[in-house]
Chain A
Amino acid sequence: MKNIKHILLHYFEWSRTVYLITIALILISAYAINYFPIASEFKPILIYCNLIVALAFHFITRFQPVQGQAPNGFSLKFFQGIPLKKDEIILSVVACSLLSTIPIILCTLLFSEYVNRTFHLNLNALKISINASFILLLLSMVTTKSIIEFPRKEDERKNPFRPFIKILRQSSVSMFAILISLLLFLIVDDYFHWNLAKELLSFLESLPKYLTSWWSTLFFVLFFLYHFFEVHRLWTNEILTYKKQYWNAKKEYALLAISGLGTLFFFMLIDLSTPEIYIGTVQKAVYESKYDLLKNISPEKINTTNYYGVTPMMVAVGHGDLKMIQYLESKGANYEGKIVNEQKLNGMDNIMLAIRRRDLSVLKYISTKTNNLTRLNQELGFYPIHYATGTCQSDVVDYLVEQNVDVNVLNKDGETPLMVSARANCWSVAVVLKEAGAKFDAKDMLGKTALEKIKNPKSKKELVYFFQKNSRVPASK
């Protein structure tokens, strides 16, 4: 323990300045994104830069024994030459690795809301971060241990599983690179408007959902592989030598089986991937699109709510899964219910969730089943049209106008949808509202009109220009 502490303290001392600068940079960026009027085009770039800084910090400063001569690390021979036990080397490497992962986790946590909004996801950043840290930790342990146990790669030459070990060692880096590329592509996608590419790669949108829903299994497989190679190493390397007298194959394989089953049981019970608000057996089955589990569900259970008031139908709507919505409906699910006990989503019903998802086809479908389009949401204090306006969804507003929704209806602050669009600088929605008959002279509780709510004079000019350029016959006519 003393040696691990010694290594950890020195590692922190070596990387202290860069470490604190990296964390400060991420915190300042997160604050700037939330509280300063940064152009929306630059926000992804800022997040992108932060992520690169956090990753660069991790890879440059990480404390890892390396094979042979390497410029930014101690060679394995150095570790073998100092009075350290194998476990101490592994634990200190893992501890330092975790320390250098903190900026990445911080990045994930602080920017998760923005990323969720960009990808239309509802992933729990904290859980994903914990999962990612576990995976990093495990890979770090596997690589360090295998480096320590194979001093000059002689065992590997004789080891029939060498290619798999190699893949396992290298896959951590390549998998990470692929994930980051995907993430960056999805972020910059909004900026460059690669609509064609987006269309072609639309199937990737669901990838994070499937990836996270299989996380526990993935973790189990990695754990199992780790133990398998551990047993295999003992078998190939040491059974023939000094461990022969202590070796007990039955005991080793029994331990492997028990620990494997234990881990499987543990990770099946503790679900680290499903978002917190989807807790519940039925909700989780809907989230993971497991139709076979829902096949024999009773009508009483189909509308069951969890602690957050979330019904299975709300899960399907929240993820824009129209096929699942129709399936649940056939099983007797209704469209009632509102989210409770959840700070950000409190009061959301199915209509609001569909708007939040930005999925017009789902909204169109469920609006035929429920009349909530024209109903004030008491908890939220506004109508669906306010929400669609505030989130700048002109196609949804267009649809609501088609459904004869009142375009001058007031929210709890006495604001019309036009005022909300003015506040959100959303001119495309303002055009739709204007053409649908929105009143420009309506005043809120403070006596301000929609135009008066635009603080920046330049934005007012933009609005006038936008009106001139984009005027058209209202869709409702």
Chain B
Amino acid sequence: MKNLIKVEDLSYSIPFGKEILKDVSFELNEGEIIGILGRNGAGKTTLIDLLLGIRPTTKGSIKILGENPIKEDRIGSTSICFISQDVSLNSSLGVGKFLDFYAGFYPQYSRSEEKCLLELFTVNREDQIASLSTGQQKKVQIIAALAANPKILLIDEITAVLDPETRNQFFTQLSKEKTTKGLSIVLATNIAEDLTSRADKVLFIDNGVGRIEQPDQILNLFNLKKSA
């Protein structure tokens, strides 16, 4: 299988601040889902930022589609899509206008898939973004990202705001994209149950140190008795 992401001995410190990640290593192959799990403030979003090239690494290396993400003139950047809890859209736009805008950045964007996804997630192209709830706005982002036909999808804690039905539809669609198109997914989440039956492997970050765990083992990683 083709290797799409390779992270080796990655460390990241806030400039003049504490060390967030220590010697994290993992690989992601085509058609795989890797879950990133950790307590609040463990560094999940920071790791996604590093994969996006928003932050420079302190030590170690990242290769995403064979390129360093910090490089400005990457060829593969149009093959990576990002969905996040922190993304907010311009509320004065309509859904259709936003999708048209988004489509312009991705040459492989498919209008027919966009139509199917709009129907699946019951979102109307004519709706104003301002009239949508937070969960519905995330659905619009999901539609845009999946219609763009990326090779890698980076997801940062988006499932928490989705209702059970939409969450189910979302994961079903991800599995479909994974099997039919070989989509690789990096899914950062706080909800361990999201990963148990869906991820191929899980990167558990604890005190900055990342280790690969099997999805069926992750429920034992949190000390639930203590917190209860």
Contacts and interface: CB of A to CB of B under 8 A. Distances in A.
Interface of A: 3, 6-7, 10, 13-14, 68-75, 77-78, 80-87, 151, 154-155, 157-158, 236-238, 240-243
B15 interface: yes
B15 A151 contact: no
Central interface residue in A69, A155, A241, by most chain B CB within 10 Å? A241
Contact of A74 (B15, B77, B88, B100): B88
A66 to B, nearest CB: 8
B54 A151 contact: yes
B101 interface: yes
Interface stretch (B27-35, B55-63, B162-170): B55-63
A85 B88 contact: no
A71 B87 CA distance: 12
A81 B91 contact: no
A91 B53 CA distance: 19
Most chain A CB atoms below 10 A, which of B70, B90, B104? B90
Nearest to B101: A10
A85 B82 CA distance: 15
Contact of B89 (A78, A85, A155, A241): A78
Given A3-B105, A10-B100, A80-B82, 10 more contacts: A6-B105, A13-B97, A68-B86, A78-B87, A83-B74, A87-B72, A236-B15, A241-B57, A241-B58, A242-B57
16 contacts: A3-B105, A6-B101, A10-B101, A14-B93, A73-B88, A75-B87, A80-B49, A81-B52, A81-B84, A81-B154, A82-B102, A83-B106, A84-B105, A151-B49, A157-B17, A243-B56
B78 interface: yes
A266 to B, nearest CB: 28
A3 B73 CA distance: 13
Mostly helix, strand, loop or mixed at chain B's interface? loop
Contacts, number: 94
A22 to B, nearest CB: 15
A155 B90 CA distance: 27
Nearest to A237: B15
B16 A158 contact: yes
B15 A83 contact: no
Contacts of A82: 82, 102, 105
A283 to B, nearest CB: 48
Contact of B15 (A69, A85, A158): A158
Contacts of A14: 92-93, 97
B107 to A, nearest CB: 10
Interface in B75-125: 77-78, 80-84, 86-93, 97, 100-102, 104-106
Contacts of B100: 10
A83 B67 CA distance: 14
A13 B104 CA distance: 14
A86 B56 contact: no
A3 B103 CA distance: 11
Interface of B: 14-17, 49, 52, 54-58, 70, 72-74, 77-78, 80-84, 86-93, 97, 100-102, 104-106, 130, 154
Nearest to A6: B104
A236 B13 CA distance: 13
A77 B57 contact: no
Nearest to A78: B87
Contacts of A238: 56
Contact of A77 (B74, B86, B102): B86
Contacts of A157: 17
Query: 3 closest pairs, A vs B, by CB?
Result: A81-B82, A83-B77, A158-B16
Nearest to B16: A158
Contact of B72 (A13, A70, A85, A242): A85
Nearest to B104: A6
A238 B72 CA distance: 15
B16 A236 contact: yes
A87 B100 CA distance: 22
A10 B14 contact: no
Contacts of A69: 86, 88
A155 B84 contact: no
Contacts of B57: 241-242
A241 B62 CA distance: 14
A78 B16 contact: no
Contacts of B90: 72-74
Contacts of A78: 87-89
Contacts of B92: 14, 72
Contacts of B72: 85-87
B88 A70 contact: yes
B15 A72 contact: no
Contacts of B83: 81
Nearest to B73: A85
A80 B77 CA distance: 11
A151 B87 contact: no
Contacts of A72: 90-92
A241 B56 contact: yes
Contacts of B130: 71
Nearest to B58: A241
A83 B78 contact: yes
A83 B101 contact: no
Contacts of A151: 49, 54-55
A78 B82 CA distance: 8
A82 B100 CA distance: 14
A61 to B, nearest CB: 8
B77 to A, nearest CB: 4
A83 B154 CA distance: 13
A75 B73 contact: no
B136 to A, nearest CB: 15
Given A6-B104, A85-B73, A75 B78 contact: no
A183 B90 CA distance: 32
A78 B15 CA distance: 24
Contacts of B15: 154-155, 158, 236-237, 240-241
B24 to A, nearest CB: 16
